[in-house]
Each structure stands twice: as structure tokens, then as C-alpha cells.
Amino acid sequence: MTYGKYPQSRLRRNRSSHWSRRLQRENHLTTNDLIYPMFVHDGSDSQITVDSMPNIYRYSVSAIVEEAKKIYDLGIPAIALFPNIEQDLKTPDGEEAANPTNLICRTIRALKKSVPQLGIISDVALDPYTTHGHDGVIAEGDVHNDRTIEILQYQAHIQAEAGCDVLAPSDMMDGRIGAIRQILEEKNLNNIQIMAYAAKYASAFYGPFRDAVGTDSDIYINKKTYQMDYANSKEAIREVALDISEGADSIIIKPGMPYLDIIRMISDEFSFPTFAYQVSGEYSMLHAAAEKGWLDLDAAIVESLTAFKRAGATGILTYFAKDAAKLLS
């Protein structure tokens, strides 16, 4: 196959004007591609600044409802909820996660009452609820897989009953997707989607998120015992295949930009709804560079999000969702 040669083929011809570049563009970013992660807290303050994430806040329940209305008006299809609960509610086994009147369930009900057309994606994991900051129950010197799944099942059930549209298990326990799908079927909640964090890597890019939800995992157990090794790619195929076979409706690759190769590989391998998560560290890193005057933030936002589409992502969870929606409009 030949692709022409110079001077008969001048590739700059198609790039010579704005209208031509638009016609030649292979991938398109729209507000339909965006999911906005949001943090909710149980205090009296309407919003609390997350110091490590510029322009990101923990909202009270009433404040997050008002903010969600603005997000819906921007055309963003869905938000992803994460709780920051009071320290005295945290326990070693994260039992507050299974409380039907907990912060996240009350928030889901309030959002669905006020903004029913906005998609609500709810995190299923124990790390915001445990004193040790891990995603599961610690037993026998490790995060115990099967004991954790029992709590995750109930956590998923009460969040679905509260009215969320999508459950997003982010814990990386083996077998939890099948267990959650089973309980949803048993409780006649079979229309609830599962968006599985199928390939979640043990990453250095999560730090600001942990500030936002108030978790700290300094305990001797390392999250590398359940999150994936960032040196591995083929292992992601097995993780994704298992989650799909157990009943996931879509999957998440996390983090985002350092893992574009994983997004492309999974997209090509499965032709399955695949979402990228542009995580907190990526967000804060771009902001920090822009504050130094080292890059144009607006341009970097659109370029980085378009890169996910180019890699094959169906959509993107990003803290830039509001900014991107405004830029794209």
C-alpha cells in the first residue's frame, strides 16, 4: 500500500484552514462524553474547598442538589458521587456503608427528587467508611476478599434502592461484580447498571482524591495487593473479561492519561463501553502547570479529553467536566 509521495502529496493542504481541519477531524469531543465526579459531606457548610484540587469542593446535601441543577443545564449527562463522612462514623469494617440512611443514600434521594433526568453514578467501595482507609475488611493481615464482598453486596443494594442509576464498584475485589449483579436480580433491580472499575491501577495519581474523601491508608497493608500493577497491561484483559462475564454493563480504566495504551487495547479487544477516569492527580497537575504559566489550561483540557476519545474511550470521568462543557459550547 502506498500513501503518496512529495510533492504530489502535501499533507499540509488539509491542515491549511480551520474549516478544512474540522472536516478532516477523526475524533470529536462533546458534552455527551462527560461525567463529573462530585464530593458530598455531612456538615453545615454548603461547600468546603479541597485544597489539593483547585475549584473542587465538598458540598453539603442541599448544596450538591443546587450544583447538580447547573451541571444538568450544561448538558453533562451524569455525575459520579463520592462521600466524605464524619470521622466518628468510620469503623474497621466500614459498616456505615451498609446504612440505608447514610450520607450517600440521602444524597441520591435528594438528587433524584430535584434533578431526576441527571444520571447518578454511585461509588461502591469501603475506603471512605473505614478507619484504615482500605477498600475492604482487614482480616488475617490482609484485605479479606470474600468478607468484603458481603458488605459490598449490601452497600450496592441500598444505593440502588435509594435511586441511583449506576453502581460503580471501585474496590477491585475478585468476584464482586457477579455478587452485586446477583443481589440486584434477586431484589428485582435488574435495570440498575454496573459500571465496573475493571482495570484500576495502584497509582501515585490518586493523592488529591484521598484528600477530598478523607481517607488515609498508612497501615502496613499496601493497596497494591488488590489494585493492579502499573507495569502490567495484558492482565487488564483478564480483569475486564471477568467483569463483563459477571454482568458489568460498562467498564472504567483508571487512571487516564498515563494509561491511554490500556484504553486502546481494551477498546479494540472487547468493543464494550469503556470509560476513562482522568483522576485527581492529573487534574491538579494541569492546574499547577497553568498557574505557573507553563501551559494554556483551556487548550490542555480539550486536548487531554480528546486524547481519551482518540484512544477509544466511550466517555470520560473528569473534574474538568464543567470547564469542558463551557468550552465546547
Kindly list the catalytic residues.
200, 254
Q: Which residues contact 66 (CB under 8 A, 6 or more apart)?
A: none
Q: What is the largest CA-CA distance in the chain?
A: 72
How far apart, in whole angstroms, are the C-alpha atoms of residue 35 and residue 198?
A: 17
- Grid coordinates given for 168: 460503580
Q: Give CA separation, 58 vs 45, 112, 157, in Å.
A: 9, 19, 25
Strand partners, 140: none
CB 52 within 8 A of CB 100: no
Tell me the sheet residues that pair with 259.
Answer: none
Between strands 47-49 and 57-59, the pairing is antiparallel
What φ, ψ does residue 277 adopt, rounded to 5°? Answer: -115, 105
91, 148 contact by CB (below 8 A):
no
Q: How far apart are CA 250 and CA 197, in angstroms?
A: 9
